[in-house]
Amino acid sequence: MATETTTPEEGLPFVAPCRRLGPAAPLRWLRAGWRDLAAAPRQSLTYGAIVVLLSLAVAFVAMRFGGYWELLSLVSGFILIAPVLAVGTYAISSQLERGLRPELGRCLREEQRVFGNLMVFALMLMVVFLVWARAGSAIHVFFPVGEEPGWREYLTFFGIGSAVGSIFALIVFAAAAFSLPMMVDRRVDTVTAVVTSINAVLRNKPAMAVWAACIVLAVAPGFALLSIGRERGAGLAWIMLALGITLPLIGHATWHAYRETIDAEAWPKQEC
């Protein structure tokens, strides 16, 4: 008698369940992320250096073919695609969790296994990034360049820019909060991972608001120094250094956020 065979994907739920979080949960994630950064500083800071180099390339293109305001728009939009660049830190945290000594070669192999899903996600983020860059240029049109702008004009300009940017940032934040580490950890498709992430964010609004604030505070000093020292280039150097350190920290903390929040046991683990 013939037997019916099923693939591992059949019968899996469309969304992974999530746990309820308290508002202080992000502080635990940051502490755990710092421990991972201290346990594997060379591997973690290597990924930070990659971000620095890519950021420098973005800054060069903006200043060469645009100006300071284009630089602000592109660097701000660059944060939207940064989650994909942090995937390596998820692999490092996963190796530490399994009691392994983190190796960059093993990280690359783990990233290759989820390359297809990462490219789908990266394409989505790239579309958001390009729309944000265009929106930033459109907002710049309304900036009063040909006169002596007062504080009200500055307030209006930055208020509109912040409101528009917040929309893009919230979309990316909800989609990327837990989806990428889930794809690194489990054999799951991009749509399921993104829907799981959005569901978990919506069900834990206070905790995720604190987490979003932590991420903003982690990158804000670099942007502040960029505004203060733009003429001498000091701000640009400081934002590169800040991102090189804070992005690996946030990446490690994101892995622990996923592990604490998402129950993905229904999906098979990625092969080690």
Residue of higher predicted confidence among 10 and 191: 191
| pLDDT tens column, 123-145 | 787 787 777 767 766 766 666 55
Distance CA 143, CA 127 (A): 25
Q: Say how far apart CA 105 and CA 93 lie, in whole Å.
A: 14
Task: Say if CB 225 and CB 202 are below 8 A apart.
Answer: no
What is the token pair recorded at 92?
Answer: 């490092």
CB atoms near residue 187 (< 10 Å): 17
Whether pLDDT at 251 is above 70: yes
100 DSSP assignment: P
- The whole-angstrom distance between residue 156's C-alpha and the CA centroid of its chain comes to 28
pLDDT in tens, 93-111: 999 998 888 877 777 777 7
**Could you tell me how many residues make up the chain?**
272
Whole-angstrom Cα distance, residue 115 to residue 121? 10
User: Taking the model in full, what pTM does it have?
Assistant: 0.76
pLDDT tens, 20-68? 999 999 999 999 999 999 999 988 888 888 777 776 676 666 666 655 5
- Model confidence at 169: pLDDT above 90: no
Q: How far apart are CA 232 and CA 234, in angstroms?
A: 5
CA torsion 119→114→100→85, rounded to 10°? Answer: 10
